[in-house]
A and B are shown apart, each in its own frame.
Chain A
Amino acid sequence: MNIIDEGYIIGLRKHGDKSLILTVLTKHNGKLIGYVKGALSKKTFSTFQLGNLVHIQAYARLDENMLSFRIELIAPVAVSFMSSPQKLDVLSSFCTLCHDCLPEKEPLERFFYYIDSFFSFINEENWFVHYALFEYFLLDFLGIGLDLSECSATGVTENLAYVSPKSGKAVCFSAGQPYKDRLYQFPHFVVENNYFPTAFEVADLLDMTAFFLNKNFFKAHGLKFPIKRANLREITIEYKEAV
């Protein structure tokens, strides 16, 4: 089995003195886990940082064997995260979610675009919007996506204002008004492809994705919701206020 691809490092585990078990999120082959011999030598250890974009050559004699990696750095993306505590927290949340939720060796196809966007726009002012979109489309990729096309109560496609935590479907303003305290805000910026929403709109979407990820994925699989993911609402608002 031979794989040549490129992707982002999302997990590192030390093995012995100088080697690593590496998890890489690749474009065409999805999440790959493999062994890198001598990764922690003085010359190469800076390559192996969470978030770095790498070229990967993977080999295993049999499909069920662990892959052996040869890694080359394409872009030191990790550096962009280092100086900002908010970015580091979001990167940590991103890596944990990808590590826990994504299946191994399954192509990510279109979903990789949102992963790529998160890393590519990390130096832009609206980087956290790309993170929120990643989570939204992660739900979709996992088969637990939200249906924002029409109101689940009346079937109308206009005036959509809420999302039901029960069904994950949109609810229009008139039907949702009596229950508005129990419903999530409709993420207009996602439907309208607006990449400059307010911090509160992004925080609302993050609240909603956290709820559905926890309910439909983590609880359903008997897993614990990542602690690093839990406080992203505050981080988003805090960052926007700081900027």
Chain B
Amino acid sequence: MIGKEIDRLIKIVAKLPSLGPRSSRRIVLQLLKKKESSMLPLIEALTAVAQNVKTCEICGNYDTISPCSICCSDKKDNALLCVVQDVSDLWAMEKVSLFKGKYHVLGGVLSALDGIAPEDLNIEGLLHRIRKQEIKEVVLALPATVDGQITTHYLLSKLKETEVKVTTLAQGIPMGAELDYMDEGTLQLAFNSRKLL
């Protein structure tokens, strides 16, 4: 017999991505067993995040300050802007530290089936940024799905009105992949975007 409070906690944890009721029970049990070393620091961290983290008013990233540390950074190139679908994409790009510019989170992609229109995305904010700041290149790093490409082309048509250079990420064979293991879609895409050597 599990107590009401514990049961509530298990149900809340089970709602998190990648977790089901079984893994949620294991996590809660672990937290209960290691109250001092796991549960209390977790509560502290969660409270701090809940109280202090906000959405950056410029790019849409999460940080304790707004504008966020990336937008405020002097090390980042102000003339380079990368447009991503979600904060998770921004974090993935930041992890590899390859991109030296700043970011803009759209908050989704256009989808006729799900009824996501341009007004539902942070497109106006992007255009405002391009008009106000001295941005020279916009990199559209959106998913290689039909909805992602529709959004890319929509943004491209909007950005034509500005004088900014627009680029997009390459599509094709990933690093270390062998051709005979590739799916037909990726192979065809790689052929379509082959380059002159």
Contacts and interface: CB of A to CB of B under 8 A. Distances in A.
Given A85-B153, A88-B150, A95 B113 contact: yes
Contact of B188 (A17, A76, A88, A92): A76
A99 B113 CA distance: 8
Interface in B144-190: 144-147, 149-150, 153-154, 156-157, 171, 183-186, 188-189
B112 interface: yes
Contacts of A88: 146, 149-150, 153
B185 A17 contact: no
A228 interface: yes
Most chain B Cβ neighbours within 10 Å, of A13, A46, A96, A99 = A46
Q: Which bracket fits the contact residues of A? A: 20 to 34
Contacts of B146: 49-51, 78, 81-82, 88, 91-92
A95 B188 contact: no
A76 B184 contact: yes
A175 interface: no
B115 to A, nearest CB: 8
A124 B188 CA distance: 17
B112 A83 contact: no
B185 A76 contact: yes
Interface of B: 17-18, 112-114, 117, 144-147, 149-150, 153-154, 156-157, 171, 183-186, 188-189, 192
Given A83-B192, A93-B112, 16 more contacts: A13-B113, A17-B18, A46-B185, A49-B146, A49-B185, A51-B146, A73-B185, A75-B184, A76-B183, A76-B184, A76-B185, A79-B188, A82-B144, A88-B149, A95-B113, A99-B113
13 contacts: A11-B113, A46-B183, A73-B185, A76-B188, A78-B146, A82-B171, A82-B192, A85-B156, A88-B149, A92-B113, A92-B146, A227-B112, A227-B117
